[in-house]
Structure 1
């Protein structure tokens, strides 16, 4: 009888199969976050360097009262928003061409071209941009005849590098969303007398908005936690990931590093909550 019920309800069967692994992942993830939060409430003895397991909010007081950490937090958020907006602007025309203009064979070629950078090493791509942005790099060589120069190493280089690194994570959801949009809907909208603006607002945007939300979750969260690209092309600038790295490995201050790590977690939880309230996640 139970076997018959499972055959008649494939979703129930799928839930039973995926239930234990998802439960394990949830316990591990929530356990890690709990341990992170508990550690952030401890302090480090300034004389011995040992962790004192006494409850205090001193780490959070330092995090929000010291100007440099507020500046780093704002810089990280600005860079994350900039990377997300740039990737969205670049992904839209690429995804439209892939989904609605290119032939089937060319779609496959372009899809492989989008996926290929994901197979390359993160460090190789970051150092490649360091070489291109250097004073003797190809960007400077192409720009100087026009009276321009390379942006060098700094926030601009960080945004450019991170936008390149995470661009496939924005293209793929937008492409998948547009591919699910039948051409017959666009033709029907035109036959009913809707103009381009009306068609985009009533037919295309309900598909694109969830796709952009899905892509932005990747680009925004990955930028919030990045610290390697900033070290390679960011010059003297720091982001939250660098503060965590320096306090954990160099400063031997794990509790403060844990306190700093809670900022991206809280920001992403707030972002996911806002995205869920808009209904975008339900339409993916």
Structure 2
């Protein structure tokens, strides 16, 4: 007897019969080939990121290898490193150093302020209190960026509430002594590096608290209890258990605070002195002076700095806490 082969049945067609019309054909094709649907969905954002964002950034950086004609003010499109030589002039190096120092100080201050807040939220806040914590951290981000800066401009002014409060407490002499110091002082807090520093810390603090709180929540409570049971003091427990495990979150938060401070130009433009930061230099060279090659060379500086910073952060496992 000869064996009769069973007919081959397309299970997918039996489950989902073909539909009519263009819409039905597309639906059948996407169901049978989900990868095709994924590619179509990803194509617009990939094109936007690749052409509009990365493409424009590459075009800007390419301008840094051109130079400006000192007589005509026109851009010379011959490849040269002359613009990077101009970038190393003392006045421009001073701008770079000032910006990096401010970014580092803002990052360190944000860590000091954010750590106890994040630690309390991770270890002790539960239920409604944790919801209030998230609300308190996120609420400043819901208001306008410019409104917050101008509000601080009024708070830090000579006629502001901070001066009024210090006068009531008979501590105005402390502020006057601080403002008389070189570099950090000025006529008032609203036109000083101290005022710029305070506003930077306030604006970027939520970006430090949230990654730090996420990292601290991952610290097992039994490790802290075991450290205490073995006779470690609270300081030893913090140094040997809590801080090493929370370090990725701290570095992750510092990525935000450091990078955002490096490129910001609005805060020092509104609250600060006439001495420029990198963001202001880029804005001035591209908008006012028309020296696009030098503005592009200035943009390379934070990119290089953040490249090394992110490389070190990856080594510390910071991306696991983002």
TM-score grouping bracket, smaller chain normalisation: 0.7 to 0.9
Which deviations, in whole Å up to 9, do the C-alpha atoms of 1:107-128 show, x marking residues without a partner? 1112111001011111111111
* C-alpha distance in 2 between matches for 1:27 and 1:201: 44
Which has the larger displacement, 40-49 or 90-99? 40-49
Q: How many residues align?
A: 270
- Aligned partners of 1:41 and 1:55 also within 8 Å: yes
**Gapped regions of structure 2 (runs ≥ 5):** 1-11, 13-34, 176-187
Cα contact 2:227–2:237 (8 A) shared by 1: yes
* CA contact 2:219–2:246 (8 Å) conserved in 1: no
Residue number in structure 2 paired with 1:128: 151
Q: Distance in 1 between matches of 2:114 and 2:208?
A: 6
Question: After the TM superposition, which of the residue ranges 82-91 and 19-28 deviates more from structure 2?
Answer: 19-28
Query: 2:112 — aligned with what?
Result: 89
Out of 59, 62, 72, which is 1:38 matched to?
A: 62
- 8 Å contact from structure 1 (residues 154, 237) kept in 2: no
1:114 aligns with 2:137: yes
Residue among 145, 148, 154 paired with 2:174: 148
**CA root-mean-square deviation:** 2.4
Range with bigger deviation, 252-261 or 197-206: 197-206
Change (3 A) 1:43 1:173: same
> Which whole-Å CA distance do the structure 1 matches of 2:230 and 2:43 have between them?
50
Q: Is the 8 A contact 2:208 2:253 kept in 1?
A: yes
1:224 maps onto 2:248 in alignment:
no
Contact 1:91–1:170 (CA under 8 A) maintained in structure 2: yes
Tell me which residue corresponds to 2:253. 215
Against the structure 1 CA distance between its residues 55 and 38, is the aligned structure 2 distance closer, same or farther, given a 3 Å change threshold?
Answer: same
CA separation in 2, counterparts of 1:89 and 1:218?
A: 15
Give the deviation of 1:192 after TM superposition.
4.0
SS at match of 1:49: coil
Query: Is the alpha carbon distance of 1:217 and 1:47 closer, same or farther for their aligned partners in structure 2, counting shifts above 3 Å?
Result: same
- Counterparts of 1:255 and 1:24, CA distance in 2: 26
Change (3 A) 1:201 1:266: same
Q: Does 1:54 align with 2:78?
A: yes
Q: State yes or no: 1:188 paired with 2:206.
A: no
Aligned residue number for residue 8 of structure 1: none
Contact 1:158/1:233 (<8 A) preserved: yes
Q: Distance in 1 between matches of 2:317 and 2:214?
A: 18
Contact 2:214–2:321 (Cα < 8 Å) also in 1: no
What residue in structure 1 maps to residue 275 of structure 2?
237
Give the corresponding residue for 1:75. 98
Deviations 1:14-55 (A, max 9, x none): xx7897678557634543443232110112233443322111
Q: 1:148 to 1:55 in 2, by over 3 A?
A: same
Between 1:48-57 and 1:78-87, the stretch displaced more is 48-57
Cα deviation, residue 103, structure 1: 3.2
Q: Normalised by the size of structure 1, how large is the TM-score?
A: 0.86
Structure with bigger helix share is 1
Q: Equivalents in 1 of 2:223, 2:56: separation in Å?
A: 46
Larger radius of gyration: 2
Partner of 1:101: 124
Contact 1:73 1:240 in 2 (8 A): yes
Which residue is 1:6 aligned to?
none
The unaligned stretches of length 5 or more in structure 1 are 4-12
